[in-house]
Amino acid sequence: MGEQHMLVHVPFQLFGINLSITNFVVMLFVAAGMTFVFLAGAAWALRPTGEGRFPNMVEAMLEFVRENVSDACMGRHGAHWFPFVASVFFFVLFCNLLGLVPIPGYFHAATGNLNVTAVMAILVFLIVQTVAIKSHGVKFYLDVLFPKSAPAILRYTLMPPIEFIGILARPFSLAIRLFANMTAGHQIVLVLLTGDLIGVTYLLKQGIFMKILAPLPLVGVIVMDGFEIFVAFIQAFIFALLTALYLGEALEESH
């Protein structure tokens, strides 16, 4: 799920920066389209009576994100930022799930590419800093770098560099966490599938009893795929949760 699987469709360089259209870029557009169709489709399918399995399922997911992410992390600001946080959740979710499409030569989780997760994390970081400056001005950074709760000797010596590193580490941790989890999971599925195919081939060459057992090795892959779907949801939830948490801190009146 990394650079070795990248297929370049339209090579493009701008000031020495590689902006080529690759299969990972295509996956990003597909994930964005799926996010729009998923949410807009639920709104379109909703009946006046409030019935409909698909709209109700989407509503339940949105309610989960609202209660456990936006409202939990941003309080009174949660309603205002809920559309953004929900969009982040579903976009990351569909990016993750696309990696489970059984076409390994092309379909890969866009979030399994460090360039993608790094850009997403940097965008969240820039939005958070913009919100913080707009809400509190430079005072936001003074309160963060020189925390009033710390003893005076530490407040003006050790705490500023520690807090500064902590601010810069946030986009790094966001990018690495999502990239590492999605890459590791899909690589494990690939290894298990390769091993199971070898095992199935071996069993099929044996006696009739062993041939009956041939489908059993594939059970492990099915179980792992189910686990990967769970991981895709968890990682989308964590990314949205941290995004909301950082925004909540930036919106607080006091730090």
What do you get for the CA distance between the two ends of the chain, in Å?
40
Q: 218: how many CB neighbours lie within 10 A of its CB?
A: 15
Q: Which domain holds residue 218?
A: 3-251
Q: 232: burial class by Cβ within 10 Å (0-12, 13-18, 19+)?
A: buried
Q: Report the domain count for the chain.
A: 1
Query: Each residue's pLDDT tens digit in the chain (255 positions)?
Result: 344 467 777 787 877 777 778 888 888 999 999 999 999 998 888 777 767 788 889 999 999 999 999 999 998 899 999 999 999 999 999 999 988 876 666 777 889 888 899 999 999 999 999 999 998 888 888 888 888 877 888 888 888 899 899 889 999 999 999 998 888 766 666 666 666 556 556 555 666 656 666 566 667 777 777 888 888 999 999 999 999 999 998 888 544
**Would you tell me how many other CB atoms lie within 10 Å of the CB of residue 182?**
27
Roughly what angle, to the nearest 10 degrees, separates helices 217-251 and 159-204? 160
- Residues facing residue 13 across a β-bridge: 18
Nearest of 239, 234, 230 to residue 100 by alpha carbon: 230
